[in-house]
Amino acid sequence: MAFFMAGSSLLFVNTMLARAVDDSTLITPTTADISDVYYKGKVLRILEVGEKEIESGEKQLFQRVEIEILNGDEAGKKIIIDHGGTFAISKNQQVKEGEKVVVAKTPDVSGGRVVYYIVDTYRVNNLALIVIIFFAVAIYFGRKEGAGSVLGLIFSIIVIFKFIIPFIVKGYNPFLICVVASYGILFLSLYLSHGFSKRSHIAMMGSFISLALAVVINILFVTLSKLSGTGTEEVFYLQFSGMDIDLRGLLLGGIIIGVLGILDDVTTAQTAAVEEIYLVGNNLSFSELYKRGLSVGKEHIAALINTLILAYVGVSLPFLLLYSSQKTHAFWMTINSAFIAEEIVRTMVGSTVLVLSVPITTFLAAWMYSRSKK
């Protein structure tokens, strides 16, 4: 799911392409060439703001701006760029004086000149600040466990970018790579977050069993729905990237990674609930511990299912709005589309595994604590 944003980003980039100049001659780029060079730029002045009428008779927002290149071999160079006009931009995509943007430089194959255009807002520094704020809040309120969670998160990111992605690019089966990586992430992140304790060991066993079930359920649901992994826009671009990637395996692997994101939360919370019940009355039998623990788990299940479904709907909201505007399409056609079907399967796999993880973990915890003494 996390990678679903790539499709939206590509659409955003296309709408941000603008006419550019080296002097006063305007040149219109049609697409970003693979040899594009990208720079950070700063908007020095807004020279002109208004609307331009295009060939169809429609009017598009337009800006002419002066930009200074901030990095690379052209640092300090000032250029004039026509932003909008030929290509549609919204009010939110208009730039302001002092704003930092990403500027692309590409050769104009028709005129033999160099073309500059605004690709996007430069947001790396602000994203870094957001991450720092999150880490600070997590560590301050979570203390030792919060710091462990941050380390677990960093480890997960390293595994994704240093193991999962490189091996998939090399042609290995995406599903197998994601399954192997998921077990590694699960093991280290859970112990980094919660430390080595009986509670962690039980949660780990519950997570391992639940993840194994997730693999089976994932294959079953994807097979039943006859999905091939081609339901999103970014996959369309992958097909023409030259990489030999099993798209169906990529879909299966992505679903497993998505399930992993919340699985350890369920198992650790459920183990903690059973442990607290045991500490209140350590003379409780296995069946009594299991019954009371499952009673708490049922409430957790209800909240988790709602949370998971809303999370997927939130990410897919723009696409759902687009489909709802197509009055010529019947509702069943919308549901039948590959993209919607993939999101439904993602949600159902995740929800099914989370539901099953509650009784599994409760059983393990009740069995372990009923044989313990205070």
Can you give the pLDDT at residue 87? 73
Report pLDDT for 66: 93
The answer regarding whether domain 144-370 maps to CATH 2.60.120 reads no
pLDDT at 240: 73
> For residues 19 and 30, is the Cβ–Cβ distance under 8 A?
no
Q: Which two tokens stand for residue 301?
A: 């299940």
Q: Dump strand ranges (E) for the chain.
A: 20-21, 26-27, 37-53, 59-69, 78-84, 100-108, 113-121
In the numeric block, the tokens 């897919």 are attached to 316
The one-character DSSP state at 107 is E
Write down the domain spans for the chain.
2-122, 144-370
What does the pLDDT read at residue 24?
30
Give the fold, CATH level 3, of 2-122. Answer: OB fold (Dihydrolipoamide Acetyltransferase, E2P) (2.40.50)
What is the pTM assigned to this prediction? 0.75
Cα-based distances in Å from 338 to 232, 308, 342, 344? 8, 20, 6, 10
- Tens of pLDDT along the chain (374 residues) come to 333 333 333 333 333 333 333 333 333 343 444 467 899 999 999 998 888 777 666 778 888 999 999 998 999 999 998 887 777 788 888 889 999 999 998 876 665 678 888 888 999 999 999 999 999 999 999 888 888 889 988 999 999 999 999 999 888 999 999 999 999 999 988 888 888 888 899 999 999 999 999 999 999 999 999 988 877 777 777 777 777 788 899 999 999 998 887 888 889 989 999 998 888 876 788 888 899 989 888 887 877 777 777 877 777 777 777 766 766 667 777 778 888 888 889 889 988 998 999 999 999 999 998 887 54
